[in-house]
Amino acid sequence: MNVQPDNKAMKRDFDIVGKRTPRPDGIDKVTGRARFGADMSMPGMLWGLVLRSPHAHAKIKRIDTSKAEKLNGVHAIVTSKDFGPCDDSLLDIRENVMAREKALYDGHAVAAVAAVSRSVARQALKLIKVDYQVLPHVTDVDEAMKPDAPVINDKLFTKGLDKTPKKPSNIAERFEFGHGEVEKGFKEADLVIERTFRTEATHQGYIEPHACVASMGADGRGEMWVCTQGHFMVRNTCAGLLGIDVSNLRVTASEIGGGFGGKTTVFIEPVALALSLKANRPVKMVMSREEVLRASGPTSSSSIDVKIGMKKDGTITAGDATLRYQGGAFPGSAVPYGAMACFAPYDLKNVRAIGWDVIANRPKQAAYRAPGAPMGAYAIESVIDELCRELKLDPIDVRLKNASSDGSKASYGPNFGVIGLKATLEAAKNHPHWKAKLGKNQGRGVACGFWFNFGGETSVSLNVNVDGTVGLSVGTPDIGGSRASIGNMAAEELGIPHDKVRCIIADTASLGYNDVTDGSRVTFASGMAAIQAARDAIGKLCERAAKIWGIPVDAVVWEKGHARPASPNAGKHEPLSLADIAAQAGATGGPIAGHCEINAEGAGVSFATHMVDSEVDPETGHVKILRYTVFQDAGKAVHPSYVEGQFQGGAVQGIGWALNEEYIYSKDGRLQNPGFLDYRIPVCSDLPMIDTVIVEVPNPGHPYGVRGVGETSIVPPLAAISNSVSDAAKVRMTRLPMSPPNVLKALGRI
Amino acid sequence: MFQVHVRTRINGDDTEFSCEADETLLDALRDRLGLTGAKEGCGTGDCGACSVLVDGRLVCACLMLGAEAEGCDIETVEGMADGSKLHPLQQKFLDHAALQCGVCTPGFLVAAKSLLERNDNPTEEEVRYWLAGNLCRCTGYDKIVRAVLDTAADMRKASKPKPAKAKKASAKGRVSA
Ligand code: FES
Ligand code: FES
């Protein structure tokens, strides 16, 4: 057999990859047949609901569930007592899913009930009495860092300092990245600008609230149906929290109605399982939108100082940034990613980024699309824009001059491989958008963004069926069309039509472990695994052909979906199609399948440049987005429609973050806008079409050159829009969101 | 809790159900009748994922009580296709890749159908304002708007009667009216 899994021989001419094929789950999703988290019911099912803390910070003195237990129709009530010892790595998750000694934020779960109906469960919640002792709280990141701030966790001693402090504080850790000498660099500059920026917490805003059905049997075996980005993660985490053998919990991923990082952890899932264990019946739980906003992962709010020096010719001589992110009530904000990513687009001699991970009385932050990167990029790209303006330099030329390129040393340490930042900037420079005329009160902004992308643990199984169709099982939930792209890569490799491959998301009992759908990894890693599984199957198909023909296997090649004799010396044999060989599988040695288990490496980093025109109404402070163009390197766009969709979706989430969205806390630490009316994400009438330009600089780490595309698209918008609004309003914007009141303030009107 | 008996017609079928007095139409559809095509994204009338047509009017099923549906004619996404033949909007959503996760899709389809029934030649702006009550977090709306505009264009082409047949069709229309 001479089919080798050799990533170096990168394929560049494709039959199926790059085509806009119909998606396999399409009909289900336009007819209402697709089953999402809340669409599942089980026989004998109960409804579970959670009681949540109304306080930002309070000691839980006593929880009295006796009245609720007596209510007819109530079958189980759980509190933190029902979650026993667990591994240290799960302690924060255990405390986040059910408060123990203290409620740490408005919305923190304190108890849960399972009852025969939602209305009985609702009544039961009202009968649970919790005695709270309200404690002083802090929700603002800068306030939380002050020495006299209320201490949320008295066992938290700042890590990452030369000497670990003796006093606890809300500062969890300090990070530092960079190289060179920034002070020396600033001396070489003709102009140095220093600014402070603030961004507010935003929510991933997936339209489908968290939902699950859990069923634990008396035999200690359980099943779960969950909307999640990673059902293997749900299995392992829940098993760890409840002391169940991993093999005894089988988790099926439902269709998932958006995640954006917010469904990479657990919230109600272990609670539903605990209720089911106690009630000995299946339990369904569905969060309300209010619960989603109050208690599931928002992103960090941040406060960032940036200082950058530039020469008259546009050379950046030094960059220095300090990023402070609050990540809610537990350590682990995405500040290290922010600090690593913020200067990554530039090849700098002197650069430093310091990150502070801070806790506050807010829900534990969860990953949100390129976690941590948009805020850092916002601050750095804003200062670069201002330097260009002051020095009368073209912002694209300056970026091109300083841009990271193949082999340059990244601000966070390693040397880049083959990267496409310059290609996105050139595409932007040559696009008609860049030359288009602007009117009164209108402005244009550009910004660049970077994301690492990820590979990770991946397991794929590919079955060649008797009729020549192929079943492809992957373990990474499909959020945006990945079944289409992964199936197409397998079909490409096998040389059969795309509709002969059916790609499904297999449950946790049917496949090896898979990391969650995150880090823009699925099309890259599950795709790579599917290609390798296809190659594995091709090897076996060639063996069967060799057997049928009675020739050695290395005299057989696989071409365009057929086994053929490698050369005339191998004898004259009619080529055998995949279907021909599949039909004889039983007689030639049994089922034919390909497998691949990898920890995928070689995820190529990805860069984007965004360009946006906006108009500012000086009377109301309202900002309207007039035109938007995304230029992003996809390596190879496997399914261009869904690549464009990722570019557009990320840009629009960025528009929301930049203009409207924010978590608003009152003085008593309660979230004031836990609903889609007041937490306003962009709607159709707010927006223009979002133009996209797919740049393809192949990633040498993938057999087809694929790079992840999902996350990079949210990194540049905050800065690009802020630069555009600053241009339109003729005043530098330094705070998000640029909502009408904040814009009017910046204009000096209020 | 006290239950109400409700008689409706849903996607053409006479359908009866019982629901609690304070239960929403959305919960009745989803939990009592197994029509889970309409989704709950917010429960407060802000996301449009639960959009259905009630007596031809576009409503948020989360804002209406099940009991209020007595005697109503209800259309949900499950009733849009004609057997295995997709409604033109459903087909265009697929052609334009106007969905990523697809949880908002049923609501958008029902809302867009209701728009095209009223206006077969909407401008981009009219589409954007009509659909402003439907939230999509994945797509940025671009491909959704294109799919709706493209459907409208196709439907206009299809309904433009050929000159010879036009007379017959309109004559027939008058007779039956
Ligand atoms: S669920 Fe009805 S509008 Fe959101
Ligand atoms: S496609 Fe996911 S919310 Fe619209």
Taking the CA of residue A417 and the nearest CA in chain B, the distance in Å comes to: 30
DSSP A639-668: SHHHHHHHHHHHHHHHHHHHHT----B-TT
CA-to-CA distance for A708 and A704, rounded, in angstroms?
A: 12
In B, residues 11-40, which contact A (CB 8 Å cutoff)? 20, 22-23, 27, 30-31, 35-40
Same-domain status, B10 and B72 = yes
Integer Cα distance of B172 and B177 in angstroms: 8
Which ligand is closest to the CA of B58, given by its number? 1
What number is the average pLDDT over the span B11-40? 97
Name the one residue in this structure whose structure tokens are 């402090």. A165
B59 & B99 share domain: no
Q: Is the C-beta atom of B109 inside 6 A of ligand 2?
A: no
Helix (H) or strand (E) holding A41: none
User: Which distant-in-sequence residues (6+ apart) come within 8 Å of A395 by Cβ?
Assistant: A384, A385, A388, A389, A446, A723
Maximum CA extent, chain B: 62
Amino acid letter, B139: T
pLDDT of B163 reads: 61
Q: Is B95 in the pocket of ligand 1 (CB under 6 A)?
A: no
- Cα separations (Å) of A237 from A87, A243, A450, A620? 10, 10, 31, 49
Split chain A (750 residues) into runs of 10 and give each run's mean pLDDT: 44 92 96 98 97 98 98 98 96 98 98 97 98 98 98 98 96 98 98 98 98 94 97 98 96 98 97 98 98 97 98 98 98 98 98 98 97 98 98 98 97 96 98 98 98 96 98 96 96 97 97 93 94 97 97 96 94 96 97 97 95 98 98 97 97 98 98 97 98 97 95 98 98 98 95
Specify if B174 maps to a domain. Answer: no
Residues of B in contact with A479 (CB under 8 A): 100-101, 138
- Residue A202 near residue A656 (C-beta atoms within 8 A): yes
Our answer on whether the CB atom of B138 is closer than 6 Å to any ligand 2 atom is yes
Query: A38 at the B interface (CB within 8 A)?
Result: yes
pLDDT of residue B164: 55
Exposed/middle/buried for residue A537 (C-beta within 10 Å: 0-12, 13-18, 19+): buried
Report which secondary-structure segment, H or E, holds A142: helix A141-145
Architecture field, domain A301-453+604-746 = 2-Layer Sandwich (3.30)
Nearest ligand 1 atom to the CA of B48 is 3
* Domain chopping of chain A, boundaries: 26-34+455-599, 37-135+209-256+263-295, 301-453+604-746
Per-window interface: A 119-148 vs B, CB < 8 A: 119
- From the list B46, B90, B100, the residue facing A31 with the nearest CB is B90
Residue of A30, A118, A229, A287 for testing the chain B interface, max B β-carbons within 10 Å:
A30
Are B78 and A31 a contacting pair at CB < 8 A? yes
DSSP per-residue letters across A4-17: ---TTS-----SST
> What CATH number is given for A37-135+209-256+263-295 in this structure?
3.90.1170.50
Of the candidates A129, A156, A152, A125, the residue with the CA atom closest to the CA atom of residue A60: A129
Q: Are residues B93 and B45 in the same domain?
A: no
Phi, psi (deg, nearest 5) at residue B131: -90, 5
How far apart are the CA of B102 and the centre of ligand 2, in A? Answer: 5
DSSP B121-162: S--HHHHHHHGGGS--SSS-SHHHHHHHHHHHHHHHHHHS--
8 Å CB contact between A250 and A12: no
Among A743, A746, A449, A713, which residue's Cα sits nearest to residue A614?
A743
Please give the Cα distance from A235 to A249 (Å, whole number). 6
Enclosing H/E stretch for A695: strand A690-695
What is the interface size between A and B, counted as CB pairs within 8 Å? 185
Give, in order, the Cα–Cα distances in Å from A633 to each of A376, A604, A638, B4. Answer: 20, 10, 13, 58
CB A42 within 8 A of CB A663: no
Within a domain: residue B144? yes
Residue B151 sits at the chain A interface (C-beta within 8 Å): no
Instruction: Spell out the alpha helix ranges (H) of A254-297.
Output: 269-279, 289-295
Domain at B63, CATH number:
3.10.20.30
Mutate to test the interface with B, among A41, A210, A683 (most CBs of B within 10 A): A683
Q: How far is the CA of A289 from the centre of ligand 1 (A)?
A: 10
Inter-chain touch A257–B104, beta carbons under 8 Å: yes
3-state secondary structure of B116: helix
Chain A segment 275-294 residues within 8 A of B by beta carbon are 286, 288-289
Instruction: Give a yes or no: residue B22 inside a domain.
Output: yes
Whether the Cβ atoms of residue A18 and residue A636 lie closer than 8 Å to each other: yes
Q: Are residues B121 and B150 in the same domain?
A: yes
Question: Looking at the predicted structure, is the pLDDT value of residue B171 above 60?
Answer: no
Asked if B143 contacts A645 with a C-beta cutoff of 8 angstroms, the reply is yes
Q: What angle do CA B109, B110, B116 make, to 5 degrees?
A: 85
B73 and B95, same domain (yes or no):
no
B62 Cα nearest atom in ligand 1? 2
Whether residues A30 and B99 touch (CB distance < 8 A) is answered with yes
The closest alpha carbon to A515, from A483, A475, A480, A461, belongs to: A475
Return the CATH number at B145: 1.10.150.120
- Inter-residue contact A302 to A365 (CB < 8 Å): no
Nearest to B94 among A30, A117, A479 (CB): A30
Residue B159 distance to chain A (closest CA, Å): 23
**Cα of A652 from ligand 2 centre, angstroms:** 12
Q: Establish whether domains A26-34+455-599 and A37-135+209-256+263-295 are of one fold.
A: no
Question: Residue A730 in contact with residue A747, Cβ under 8 Å?
Answer: no
Look at residue B172 and tell me if it is in a domain: no
**For the CA of A207, the nearest atom of ligand 2:** 3
Phi-psi category of residue A380: left, alpha or beta, with phi > 0 → left and psi -120 to 50 → alpha: alpha
* Cα–Cα distance for residue pair B125/A730, rounded to 1 Å: 29
Answer yes or no: do B17 and B72 share one domain: yes
Say what the pLDDT of residue B173 is.
Answer: 34
Q: How far is A425 from chain B (nearest CA, A)?
A: 23
Is residue A225 packed enough to be buried (19+ CB in 10 Å), middle (13-18) or exposed (0-12)?
Answer: buried
Residue A591, number of CB atoms within 10 A of its CB: 12
How far apart are the C-alpha atoms of A690 and A251, rounded to whole Å?
A: 37
Report the separation in Å between the CA atom of A262 and the middle of ligand 2, taken as the mean of its atom positions.
15
Q: What is the DSSP letter of A376?
A: H
pLDDT in tens, B125-156: 999 999 999 999 999 999 999 999 999 999 99
Residues of the domain holding B132 = 88-159
Mean pLDDT of chain B: 92
Q: Which of A430, A334, A379, A362 lies closest to A662, judged by CA? A: A362
Q: Ligand 1: which of B36, B50, B103, B131 to mutate, most ligand atoms within 8 Å of CB?
A: B50
> Is omega for the bond preceding A168 within 30 degrees of 0, making it cis?
no
DSSP-H helix ranges across A692-750: 717-729, 740-746
Which ipTM was obtained for this model?
0.96
Residue B27 shares a structural domain with residue B7: yes
Residue A252's DSSP bridge partners are A225
CA dist., res. A313 & res. A91, Å (int): 53
Per-residue pLDDT band for B1 (boundaries 50, 70, 90) equals low
Decide: A352 and A367 in contact? Cβ < 8 Å.
no
Of B26, B61, B79, which residue is a domain's last?
B79
The reported pLDDT for the residue numbered A519 is: 87
For ligand 2, say whether the CB of B71 is within 6 Å of any of its atoms.
no
- A393-417 in b/e form (b: 16+ CB < 10 A) is bebbebbbbbbbeeeebbbbeeebe
Nearest to A232 by CA among A19, A556, A514: A514
CATH number for A26-34+455-599 (one of 3.40.190.10, 1.10.357.10, 3.30.365.10, 3.30.70.3270): it is 3.30.365.10
Backbone angles phi, psi at A701, to 5 degrees: -85, 0
Residue of A nearest to B83 (CA): A31
Please classify residue A41 by burial: count the beta carbons closer than 10 Å to its beta carbon, then call 0-12 exposed, 13-18 middle and 19+ buried.
middle
- The answer, yes or no, to whether residue B167 has pLDDT greater than 70, is no
Q: Is B89 in the pocket of ligand 1 (CB under 6 A)?
A: no
Regarding the beta carbon of B97 and ligand 2, being less than 6 Å apart is answered: no
* Nearest neighbour of B77 by CB, restricted to A32, A644, A653: A32
Please name the residues in contact with A113: beta carbons below 8 A apart, sequence gap of 6 or more.
Answer: A48, A49, A51, A68, A74, A76, A77, A121, A124, A125, A128, A275
Candidate of B40, B46, B138, B141 to mutate for ligand 2, largest count of ligand atoms within 8 Å of Cβ = B138
Chain B closest-CA separation from residue A39 CA (Å)? 6
Question: Six-digit token pair at A503?
Answer: 């790609």
Q: H-type helices in A430-549, by residue range? A: 432-435, 482-494, 527-549
The neighbouring-strand residues paired with B88 are: none
- Evaluate whether A450 touches A341 at the Cβ level (below 8 Å): yes
Q: Is the pLDDT of residue B176 over 60?
A: no
Torsional sign, CA A332, A333, A335, A336: positive
Taking the centre of ligand 2 as the mean of its atom positions, its distance from the CA of residue B144, in whole angstroms, is 10
The verdict on residue B12 lying in a domain is: yes
The amino acid at A284 = K
Domain assignment present for B176: no
On whether both B60 and B107 belong to a single domain, the answer is no
Ligand nearest to C-alpha A260: 2
Angle (deg, nearest 10), helices A395-402 and A373-390:
120
In a domain, B165, yes or no: no
3-class state of residue A485 by DSSP: helix
CB of A60 closer than 8 Å to CB of A99: yes
Of A195, A198, A197, the C-alpha closest to A140 is A198
Domain count, chain B: 2
Q: How many helices (H) and strands (E) does chain A have?
A: 21, 26
How far is ligand 1, taken at its centre, from the CA of residue B94, in Å?
A: 23
Neighbouring CB atoms inside 10 A of A315's CB total: 16
In a domain, B175, yes or no: no
Best mutation site among B101, B108, B125 for testing chain A: the one with the most A CBs within 10 Å? B101
B100 CA → ligand 2 middle, Å? 6
Residue that has been written with the tokens 């952890």 in this structure: A265
Q: Which of B29, B54, B79 is the last residue of a domain?
A: B79
User: How far is B147 from chain A, CA to nearest CA, in Å?
Assistant: 12
A 150-189 residues with CB below 8 A of B?
none
Query: Which pairing describes strands B57-60 and B51-54: parallel, antiparallel, or unpaired?
Result: antiparallel
Q: Closest approach of chain B CAs to the CA of A607, in angstroms?
A: 20
Smallest CA separation from ligand 2 atom 3, residue: B136
Q: Does B68 touch chain A (CB under 8 A)?
A: no
CB A308: neighbour CB atoms within 10 A? Answer: 30
Q: Provide the chain A residues 650-669 that lie in CB contact (below 8 A) with chain B.
A: 651-653
